Amino acid sequence: MLLRKVFVAVFLLFSVFGCSAQLLDSKPTISIWHWMTDRDPAFQELAKKYETLTGIKINFELYAPSDVYKQKVRAAAQGVNLPDVFGILGEKSDLASFVKAGHVLDLTANMEANNNSWKNSFFSKALAVNEFGPQNSYGINQGIFGVPVDIMTIQMVYNKKLLAQLGLNPDRPPKTLPEFLDAGAKIQAAGMQGLVSGWGELWMIDCLANNYAFNIMGKDKVLATIKGEVAYTDPDWIRVFAIFKQMKDSGILAQGLVTMINKSAEQLFANEKAVFAFNGSWCVNVYKGMNVNLEYGAMLPPEASERFPMAIWGGAGSSFMVNARSKHKEEAVKFLTWLTDEDQQAYLASATNNLPANRNSLSKIPEKLAQFARGMDYATHPNVWGVSESSLVVDAFGQGIQSIIIGEKTPEQVAAEVQKIKERELARQRAR
Amino acid sequence: MKIRDTLENYVFVLPAVVIFSIFYIIPFIWVFQLGLFEWDGISFTKVFVGLANYKEIFFLDHSWWQSIWNAGYITLIALTFQNILAFMLAWACDREIRLKNFYRVIFFIPPVLSEVVVGMVWRFIINDVEGANMINRMLAGAGFPNLMHHWLSDPKTVLTTVAIVHCWKGFGWGFLIFLAGLQTIPHQIYESARVDGANAWQSLKKITFPLMIPVMVLVGILTVLGSMQAFALILGLVGGEFAGHTSVPVLRILAAMRSSSPRFGYACAQGISFGMILVVISFIQYRFSRKGQ
């Protein structure tokens, strides 16, 4: 009996104080889920600053690793239990699924308010990942559904000291493919290692090959190939494959590159054992951790053609979406507007070594980051192409280039093999 | 009373049946069902294609069969080199030798290490550019500089190198099971044989081998299942499929699920086909061993 009385008393006490706290505190708490372990301390710091400024508490909740986070967000979406703000890890089709299910707020009106001021503050290509155009293939209404927090680009980096040792100008790295291949001969003569990258993992080969495909034949022809209108045996594609043979023959590629994982490539470059690396902008943070004195610069992959501009992969590194069902969506949008403002973006960039999504903050960030960010003008990404290549074709493409590098197959053989698989995939799609 | 007993028995086995169904039977049926569809793993719509995925696997996908061949090669080396080594070490440790408990612990360390860690460590040991290049240095130091080689980046040696590292990683399991099997053989049998004038080789051939056949079958089946499904070690060592030279079935299944246009249904069909191949191999192994016994 006594126990029952105590229980009731405690229950009432909690109810009364719980309710009164709710009533007294009119400022909402914005809950944000994310997976970015490296950015969490900076987020927490900004949350404190925002609370001081506005009185609104921002609760950043970290769920890592990213696989766990991905599952958590999906489960919460299924249970209609998402927080006020969240990120979606995955492809554009994943974002489309969330939008279709009514989980994501359309931010177009906010972005376009005050003469597009918020929208124009971002790199346009960073926004593209979260944007659906008119009559898009995903069947989503036109609009902007996410806020890019930071961006990334994948480019080449070069070691200034080693370049000088080779007799090359460290302030003017190779701009064209012939210049790059010439450097290969010098590197070989000096007994150095040339280009390192995670080419054991196929996607980085796919990335560089696509950069050259855009440079040689232009975006339209690349997309036409994915649609099945142009064959991989087209002379332009053979030229793309042949670039890898030229690189191999020139000695620019490091020994064992085709079985190299990116972590090893990063170690080699950071330890000044390789002259060039092909890596994403995340490397700024990695190199800083491995060798704080490393002097390097970022450059676009050397052009193989003057017909079309060189393209690199890039876009929004991570984005936040506002829960369309949140009670505090207005406050959430206001916070994201503040978070992506110049000063906050510059702070995030300096604290985490990620590239800011706000183009106006470039002057306030370290030069090593700024040079990667400037590459955004050349950025593209499969996520914004609207068409995607079959996984089996992508796989054959990457493995084929590996075969060219080890001298096992010619560019023509690889082109024929990739096309054979492409035709099989097209036949399968037609049969559907 | 009899009905009550029967019901009671069913109640006792019910939790096991439920758990088995949830974690084994239902997923298996689901994967089999998905293998009959064209599905990207995300969208709500699945297109029924019947056995088309299986037809593609068996008659059109050469890279799949290349991966089976590669896994078969690794398995063959594991079945011979790894298991012979494991048996010999277990036989040695079963005898009265000094520090035998120390050896037992040492031999069991590789299997408890993560495959990815083993891959990275061996990559450092073998690799010329990135690592300490210990193997080549040892070869040069031993007077065989002509045997120095790019073990991981040469397509002719990469699969054998992967297989040997896989054996190093896996022989401890075989060692442990063989040792347990050897310890079940009564010592009186060996003593009787010795009294009858049998030497060590004769004891091994006439007593140990015949009595160890069931254990060898078990180790053989486990080796086949473990080696055919190896993939994390390969990712750690060479980062992936290396132009098809280190391609194995699990990596092919992952490849089908990768990229922005994944084929989840096809990957499920690959999984089922691979499972069937493993069942058939294990069954043949079992039948042969029964005949042998």
Q: Is the pLDDT of residue A194 over 60?
A: yes
For A223-271, write each residue's pLDDT tens digit: 999 999 999 999 999 999 999 999 999 999 998 899 998 988 999 999 9
| B188 touches A at CB < 8 Å | no
Q: Is the pLDDT of residue A94 over 50?
A: yes
Which residue in B43, B63, B130 is closest to A268 by CB distance?
A: B130
Q: Which residue of A has its CA nearest to B56?
A: A424
Rounded average pLDDT over B52-58: 93
Cα–Cα nearest to A168, from A157, A180, A156: A180
Cα–Cα nearest to A90, from B91, B2, B262: B262
CB–CB of A414/A241 below 8 Å? Answer: yes
pLDDT at B100: 79
Query: How far, in Å, are A329, A424, B248 from residue A414 at the CA level?
Result: 52, 16, 20
CB within 8 Å: A273 and B127? no
Rounded average pLDDT over A169-184: 94
Q: Is the pLDDT of residue B120 over 50?
A: yes
The answer for residues whose C-beta is within 8 angstroms of residue A263's C-beta and 6 or more apart is: A198
For A50-88, write each residue's pLDDT tens digit: 999 999 999 999 998 887 898 899 889 888 899 999 999
Alpha-carbon distance B38 to nearest alpha carbon in chain A (angstroms): 9
CB within 8 Å: A94 and B42? yes
Alpha-carbon distance A264 to nearest alpha carbon in chain B (angstroms): 7
Cis peptide before A83 (omega within 30 of 0): no
Alpha-carbon distance A28 to nearest alpha carbon in chain B (angstroms): 34
Q: How many beta-carbon contacts under 8 Å exist across A and B?
A: 110
Question: B293: pLDDT confidence band, cut at 50, 70 and 90?
Answer: low
| Structural domain contains residue B40 | no
The C-alpha angle B127, B130, B133, rounded to 5 degrees, equals: 40
All structural domains of chain A, each given as residue ranges with its CATH number in brackets, are: 27-151+316-380 (3.40.190.10), 153-314+386-431 (3.40.190.10)
Q: Which residue of A has its CA nearest to B52?
A: A428
Residue type, B263: R
CB within 8 Å: B259 and A255? no
Cα–Cα nearest to A333, from A2, A25, A55, A32: A32
Rounded average pLDDT over A262-286: 93
| Structural domain contains residue B35 | no
- Across chain B, mean pLDDT equals 89
| Structural domain contains residue B249 | yes
pLDDT at B215: 92
Question: A12: pLDDT confidence band, cut at 50, 70 and 90?
Answer: low
pLDDT at A345: 95
Q: Which of A392, A417, A426, A428 should one mutate to test binding to chain B, selecting the residue with the greatest count of B CBs within 10 A?
A: A392
Rounded average pLDDT over A303-327: 93
Output the DSSP codes for A341-392. Answer: SHHHHHHHHHHH-PEESBGGGGGGS-HHHHHHHHGGGGEE-GGGTS----HH
Q: Is the pLDDT of residue B176 over 60?
A: yes
| Structural domain contains residue B68 | yes
Write out the E strands in A208-340: 274-280, 296-299, 312-322
At A59 the three-state DSSP class reads strand
Which residue in B42, B153, B258 is closest to A391 by CB distance?
A: B258
Instruction: Report CA torsion sign: B184, B185, B187, B188.
Output: positive
CB–CB of A354/A317 below 8 Å? Answer: yes
Q: How many domains does chain B have?
A: 1
| Structural domain contains residue B268 | yes
Winning range, highest mean pLDDT, from A206-220, B31-45, B191-205, B256-270? A206-220
Share of chain B above pLDDT 70, in %: 95
Domain that holds residue B176: 60-292
- We report the CATH number of the domain holding residue B144 as 1.10.3720.10
Q: Is the pLDDT of residue B64 over 60?
A: yes
| Structural domain contains residue B52 | no
pLDDT at A78: 81
Rounded average pLDDT over B88-107: 85
pLDDT at B148: 84
CB–CB of A322/A329 below 8 Å? Answer: yes
| Residues of chain A found within 8 Å of residue B259, distances taken between Cβ atoms | 388-391, 394-395
| Residues of chain A found within 8 Å of residue B237, distances taken between Cβ atoms | 259
Of residues A74 and B63, more confidence is placed in B63
**Half-sphere exposure of residue A210: CA atoms within 13 angstroms, side-chain side:** 28
Share of chain A above pLDDT 70, in %: 94
Q: Is the pLDDT of residue B209 over 70?
A: yes
Residue B28, Ramachandran bin (φ over 0: left; ψ between -120 and 50: alpha; else beta): alpha
Report the distance separating Cα A339 and Cα A327, nearest Å. 20
- Across chain A, mean pLDDT equals 90
Report the distance separating Cα A50 and Cα A42, nearest Å. 12
pLDDT at B287: 82
Burial of B23 (0-12, 13-18, 19+ CB in 10 A): exposed
| B110 touches A at CB < 8 Å | no
pLDDT at B42: 65
Report the distance separating Cα A23 and Cα A10, nearest Å. 20
Q: Is the pLDDT of residue A5 over 80?
A: no
| Structural domain contains residue B154 | yes
| Structural domain contains residue B3 | no
